[in-house]
Amino acid sequence: MYLADSRTAPGVPDTAGRSPSSGRRAAVPATVLTLGTVSLVTDVSSEMVTAVLPLYLVAELGLSPLGFGLLDGIHNGVSALVRLAGGRLSDRGAGGHKAVAAAGYGLSALCKPLLLLAHSVPLIGAVLAADRTGKGLRTAPRDAMISLACDPAARGRAFGVHRAMDTAGALIGPLVAFLVLRAAAGGYDAVFTVSGCTAALGVLVLLLFVPGRTSAPGHRSAPAVRAPLRAVARRPEIRRLTACAVLLGLTTVSDSFLYLTLQRRLDLSETWFPLLPLGTAGAFLLLAVPLGAVADRFGRRRLFLCGHLALLGAYGLLTAPLGGSPALPCLALALHGSFYAATDGVLAAAAAGAVPASVRGSGLAVVQTGQAAARFACSIAFGAAWAAWGDRTALEAAAAGLAVSAAVSALLLRPSRSPKSTESTEATEDTEDTEHKESPQGTKNAKDQAR
Amino acid sequence: MNRRNRLLILLVAVLVLGGVALAATLHAAGRAAEQDRARPGDPRVARGEVTLDAPGRSVFRNMAWGPHRDEIASVPAADPSGPRTSSGVRCLRFHSAGGTGICLQAVHGGLRDGYRAVVLDARLRELRHYDLAGIPTRARVSPSGRTVAWTVFVSGDSYAGTNFSTRTSVLDLRTWTLDRNLEDYRFSLDGRPHKAVDTNVWGVTFADDTHFYATVATGGRTHLVRGDRTERTLRAVHTNVECPSLSPDGTRIAYKKRVEGASDDAPWRLYVLDLRTERETPTAERRNIDDQAVWRDGGTLVYALPGDYGSDLWTVPADGSGSPRLTMAAALAPAFTG
C-alpha cells in the first residue's frame, strides 16, 4: 500500500504547514476521488434496486408493499446504533476505517444477490434492512477517511466532491435499471444481478485503491483511544455541533413530506411527483463542490446555518399564497438541493474539524446519528401535525421551529474566544480546531510533515 | 501489491463482473422474447373485435404467451377455456361494467416508464386518459358505467425508498370531474371524525354512481368504509377488510381478510361479509388471496392466483360451500358483461 500512500499523501504535507487562510487551490486528493468513485458505483447499484423495487413487488411478485413503511422506525433505530458502533469500531488502530467501511460496503453488496432469492415481503424487508445496516456501518468511517486524506483547510471542498459523485451515482442508477428493463421486459433478476456486480466492483475499488491508513504521517503515533465515544463526548466543540445538528434536524421535514406538500400546495400534476427528487438531486449535484469550497473560506458552521436558511426559504415558498407559477416548484427544489449541498458534506467537514484524528470516526458517527435521529423524530411529529392541522399549518409550524433552531444554533456556534484557540487567528472559525489543537506542538508537527 | 497489479486485478474484475451482468441481461431478454411466442397447448388467441356491451362475455387481461400477451381479450362466459378474441389494447389492470371500460396501462417513455388510466367506450375506444402517479393495482367501474375508480401504489421518495402508500381516485364520466385522492374525504371511525397522516385508501367497489365501499388503513388496521361522493365522506362499518367487492344485489362483500396464525407473507383468506348481519363466512378457498374478487353471478366469486403464466382465474361459491376450481388459465382482471 506504500505506493497508494505516496500517491495520496502529497496533498497533506504540502499544505498542512502553510497558513490555512491562503486561497491557493490544491488538487482534490486521490483518496477522496477514489472514495467518491466507490460511493458513485455503490449508489448506482443501490438506486437501481430502489427504482425497480415497487414495480417488482407489485407487478412481478404480486405483493402489497404497504407493510414496508411500518418497519421504518425499527430500521432507523437499528441503523442509528449500527452507525455509532461502526464509527467507534473504526477508530481502533491503523486501517480500522477502511476495514469497517469495507465490511459495510460488502454487506450491502451481498444483499443484492439475496434479493434474487427473497420472494416474500418479510424476507425482502429483511434484506433491505441488512442493506441499510451496511450503509449505516460505512458512513462514519468513510467520512473519517475523507477528512483524514485531505488538507484540513480544503475539507469542505473535498466533502463536496465526494457528495457530488455520490449524488451522480444516485441519478445514474435508475437510468441503468431502466435500460436493463428496456432490453429485457420483466428482467428484474437481471437488474438485481447487474446491481450486485456493480456493488462488488465498488467494494473492489475500495479494497484495491483506498490506502489502509489515510491519515497524514503525523497521526501515526496517535494511540488508539480506549473509550472513543466518551472522549468525543468530553469535547465541547463537538457537543455544540451535535446539539445544533439535532436542533436543526428536529425541524427538517423529511423529503417525502416536503414533496407531498409541494405537490399539494402548488397543485402539481401527478406525473411530476416522481420527478421531484430529481430536482433536489440535480441542485445538490451542481452545488455540492462550489458550496463546499465556499464553506472552506466562509466558515463551515456558518454555511451549515445558511443552508438551513435555504430550507427555510423553501418552506416559505410552500406556505406563502404565491399562486401556481411553474417557476415556484423549480425554485423550491433548487433551494432544497442547495440546502443539502450547504449542509450534508459541510457538516461532516465541520465535525471532522472538531475532533482529533484518533476519534474521528466516532465523532462523525455521533454528529450524524444525532442528526438522523432528530430528523426521524421530526418525521413522526410532522406527520401528527399534518393530520391534526393540515399541510399548510404543519409546515408553518416547522418553519417557525426552524427559525428558532437556526437562531439558537447561531448563538451556539459563535466562534469561541477561549484562550486555547487564540493561537489560530485564521479567517475561518473552523480552522481553529483542526489538528493544530491535538498537541501543543501542532504547528511544529505540521512543519515536520512538510519535510 | 504495486499499482500495475492492482489495475490488472480491477480490469479482470470489470471484465468478469461485466460479463456476468451482460449474461444475466441477455438471459432475461431471451426469456422476454420467448414470451412473445405462443407455445403449443396454450389457449388459442386471435385478433378480433372485443365489445363491452355484448351479453354473455367474459372480458379479461390475456396472460397467455404470444403476440397478444397483456391485451384485453374476451371469451364466451359459458366457455371460458374456448378460443380467445384479443382486442390489441394492452392493460395492466382492467374492469368493465355498463358498457364502460377502465384500463390502467404502462406508457413506455424515453427515460422512464409512466402509467395512465384510460377510460374506454364499449368498443374499447379511448374516451379520455389521466396520468397516474404510481403503479396501478385496482380498477373498478360502477354498475351503470358512469363512474370509475382506480388505485395506484406511490413510493414517496427515492432516498429512503421503502415508504409506500396508495392513492385512490374516482372519476365521474358525466361531468369528467376527478376526485384525485379519496384521502381528502372526511373519514369517520366509530362515529367520530378521524384524521391521521398514515391513512391509505384502496379497493373501491361501487354500489351505485355515488355510493361505494373501499378499504381504509390507519394505525396498522384496515376498515371497510362506506363512501359517499356527494357528501365526500368515508364511514367505517367493519374492521379487517381489504379489497372489498360488492355482490350484484348489494347485500354482501367479498374481501381479503387477514387471518390469525397465517404466515406474514401469506396472511389473507377470501371471506364474504353479510352487510346486514355483519356475519363473516370463510369461502372454501384456503389459499392466500391477494386480489379484489369479482362476482360472476349472485353466488360465485372469481379471483386470481399466481400460475405458470403469471396468473390464473379460479372460482369458488360465495356461501362457503363447494371447492375452488380453475376456470381460466393465463388470465387476470376479469369482468362479465350483461
Q: Which of A66, A256, A269 sits opposite B157 (nearest CB)?
A: A256
User: Do B148 and B290 belong together in one domain?
Assistant: yes
Dist CA A339 CA A345 (whole Å): 11
Whether the CB of A259 is below 8 Å from some CB of chain B: the reply is yes
With contacts defined as CB-CB under 8 Å, which chain A residues touch B217? 66
User: Do B90 and B11 belong together in one domain?
Assistant: no
User: Do B26 and B66 belong together in one domain?
Assistant: no
User: Do B158 and B279 belong together in one domain?
Assistant: yes
Domain ranges of chain A: 1-6+28-217, 228-436
Identify whether the C-beta of residue A389 lies closer than 8 Å to the C-beta of residue A122: no
Q: Which of B17, B35, B290 sits opposite A64 (nearest CB)?
A: B290
Give pLDDT tens digits for A292-340.
Answer: 999 999 999 999 999 999 999 999 999 887 776 778 889 999 999 999 9
User: SS3 for A426?
Assistant: coil
Dist CA A175 CA A82 (whole Å): 31
Indicate if the pLDDT at residue B74 is higher than 60: yes
Q: Which residues are within 8 A (CB) of A275 and not within 5 positions of it... i.e. 6 or more apart?
A: none
Contact A66 B157 (CB under 8 A): no
With contacts defined as CB-CB under 8 Å, which chain A residues touch B200? 66
Q: Which residues are within 8 A (CB) of A425 and not within 5 positions of it... i.e. 6 or more apart?
A: none
Please tell me the class of the A228-436 domain.
mainly alpha
Contact B28 A70 (CB under 8 A): no
Q: Which residue has the higher pLDDT, B35 or A346?
A: A346
Instruction: List, in sequence order, every beta strand (DSSP E) within A78-204.
Output: none
Which residues pair with residue B96 across a beta bridge?
Answer: B101
Q: Name the one residue in this structure whose C-alpha cell is 397465517.
A: B262
Range A73-76 contact pairs with CB under 8 angstroms and sequence separation of 24 or more: A73/A376, A73/A380, A75/A128, A75/A129, A75/A132, A75/B162, A76/A372, A76/A373, A76/A376
Closest CA to B332 of B44, B52, B62, B50: B62
User: Do B169 and B295 belong together in one domain?
Assistant: yes
Whether the CB of A322 is below 8 Å from some CB of chain B: the reply is no
Q: Phi and psi at residue A226, in whole multiples of 5°?
A: -70, -45
Please state, as a whole number, how many other Cβ atoms lie within 10 Å of the Cβ of residue B195. 15
Dist CA B253 CA B257 (whole Å): 11
Tell which A residues from 53 to 92 touch B, by Cβ distance under 8 Å.
53-55, 58-59, 62-66, 68-72, 75
Closest CA to A428 of A289, A303, A287: A303
Closest CA to A296 of A159, A417, A447: A159
pLDDT of residue A285: 96
Q: Which of A47, A72, A186 sits opposite B158 (nearest CB)?
A: A47
Q: Which residues are within 8 A (CB) of A166 and not within 5 positions of it... i.e. 6 or more apart?
A: A36, A39, A40, A43
Q: CA separation (Å) from B120 to B54, B93, B136? A: 15, 13, 17
Average pLDDT, chain B: 91
Identify whether the C-beta of residue A147 lies closer than 8 Å to the C-beta of residue A167: no
User: Do B174 and B305 belong together in one domain?
Assistant: yes
Q: Phi and psi at residue A107, in whole multiples of 5°?
A: -60, -45
Dist CA B108 CA B129 (whole Å): 15
Query: Most B CBs within 10 Å: which of A5, A60, A66, as the mutation test of the B interface?
Result: A66
User: Do B126 and B245 belong together in one domain?
Assistant: yes
With contacts defined as CB-CB under 8 Å, which chain B residues touch A123? 265
pLDDT of residue A379: 82
Closest CA to A34 of A213, A284, A217, A202: A202
Closest CA to A46 of A153, A165, A170: A170
The CATH number of A1-6+28-217, from 1.20.140.10, 1.20.1250.20, 2.30.40.10, 3.40.50.720, is 1.20.1250.20
At A235, which amino acid appears? R
Dist CA A124 CA A75 (whole Å): 13
Q: What is the DSSP letter of A59?
A: I
The whole-angstrom distance between B200's CA and the closest CA on chain A is 9
Identical fold for domains A1-6+28-217 and A228-436, yes or no, is yes
- B40 domain residue, yes or no: no
Task: Tell me which H or E stretch contains B203.
Answer: strand B200-206
User: Do B1 and B111 belong together in one domain?
Assistant: no
Tell which B residues from 128 to 167 touch A, by Cβ distance under 8 Å.
131-135, 137, 153-167
How many structural domains does chain B have? 2
Dist CA A141 CA A145 (whole Å): 6
Packed helices A236-249 and A391-412: angle between N→C axes, nearest 10 degrees: 170
Q: Which of B131, B165, B264 sits opposite A271 (nearest CB)?
A: B131
User: Do B186 and B269 belong together in one domain?
Assistant: yes
Pairing state between β B233-239 and B242-246: unpaired
Q: Phi and psi at residue A304, in whole multiples of 5°?
A: -55, -45
User: Do B25 and B127 belong together in one domain?
Assistant: no
pLDDT of residue B219: 81
Angle at CA of residue B306, ends A50 and B30, nearest 5°: 65
Identify whether the C-beta of residue A318 lies closer than 8 Å to the C-beta of residue A184: no
With contacts defined as CB-CB under 8 Å, which chain B residues touch A53? 155, 161-162
Please state, as a whole number, how many other Cβ atoms lie within 10 Å of the Cβ of residue B188. 14
Core vs surface per residue B161-187: b (16+ CB within 10 A) or e: bbbbbbbbbbbbbeeeeebbbbbebeb
Q: Phi and psi at residue B147, in whole multiples of 5°?
A: -135, 140
The whole-angstrom distance between A383's CA and the closest CA on chain B is 6
The whole-angstrom distance between A301's CA and the closest CA on chain B is 25
Contact A193 B20 (CB under 8 A): yes
**Which domain covers residue B24, as residue numbers?**
1-34
What is the complex's ipTM, to 2 decimals?
A: 0.80
Closest CA to A18 of A434, A440, A310: A434
pLDDT of residue A19: 38
The whole-angstrom distance between A142's CA and the closest CA on chain B is 19
With contacts defined as CB-CB under 8 Å, which chain B residues touch A178? 111-113
Dist CA A316 CA A312 (whole Å): 6
User: SS3 for B281?
Assistant: strand
Give pLDDT tens digits for B48-68.
Answer: 999 999 999 999 999 999 999
Residue B91: which pLDDT band, with cuts at 50, 70 and 90? very high
pLDDT of residue A293: 94
Angle at CA of residue A177, ends A175 and A178, nearest 5°: 65
Give pLDDT tens digits for B125-152.
Answer: 999 999 988 889 999 999 999 999 999 9
- B196 domain residue, yes or no: yes
Which residues pair with residue B187 across a beta bridge?
Answer: B234
Dist CA A173 CA A44 (whole Å): 4
Dist CA A52 CA A42 (whole Å): 16
Residue B235 belongs to domain with CATH number: 2.120.10.30
Whether the CB of A174 is below 8 Å from some CB of chain B: the reply is yes
- B53 domain residue, yes or no: yes
pLDDT of residue A18: 38
Residue B11: which pLDDT band, with cuts at 50, 70 and 90? very high
Q: For chain A, which residues score pLDDT lower than 70?
A: 1-26, 62-76, 214-225, 270, 324, 415-451
Residue B218: which pLDDT band, with cuts at 50, 70 and 90? confident
- B39 domain residue, yes or no: no
Please state, as a whole number, how many other Cβ atoms lie within 10 Å of the Cβ of residue A48. 28
pLDDT of residue A13: 37
Identify whether the C-beta of residue B83 lies closer than 8 Å to the C-beta of residue B46: yes
Pairing state between β B45-47 and B84-90: parallel
- B60 domain residue, yes or no: yes
Dist CA A191 CA A179 (whole Å): 9
Whether the CB of A47 is below 8 Å from some CB of chain B: the reply is yes
Alpha helices for chain B (secondary structure H):
3-34
**First and final CA of chain B: distance in angstroms?**
77
Indicate if the pLDDT at residue B249 is higher than 80: yes
Dist CA B227 CA B170 (whole Å): 11
Dist CA B25 CA A71 (whole Å): 32
Q: Which of B6, B24, B266 sits opposite A209 (nearest CB)?
A: B6
Identify whether the C-beta of residue B272 lies closer than 8 Å to the C-beta of residue B254: yes
Contact B163 A193 (CB under 8 A): no
User: Do B128 and B193 belong together in one domain?
Assistant: yes
Q: Which of B9, B113, B199 sits opposite A208 (nearest CB)?
A: B9
User: Do B7 and B130 belong together in one domain?
Assistant: no
Dist CA B149 CA B119 (whole Å): 10
pLDDT of residue A2: 33
Contacts A–B by Cβ distance under 8 A: 174
Whether the CB of A330 is below 8 Å from some CB of chain B: the reply is no
pLDDT of residue B17: 97
Whether the CB of A255 is below 8 Å from some CB of chain B: the reply is yes
pLDDT of residue A73: 58
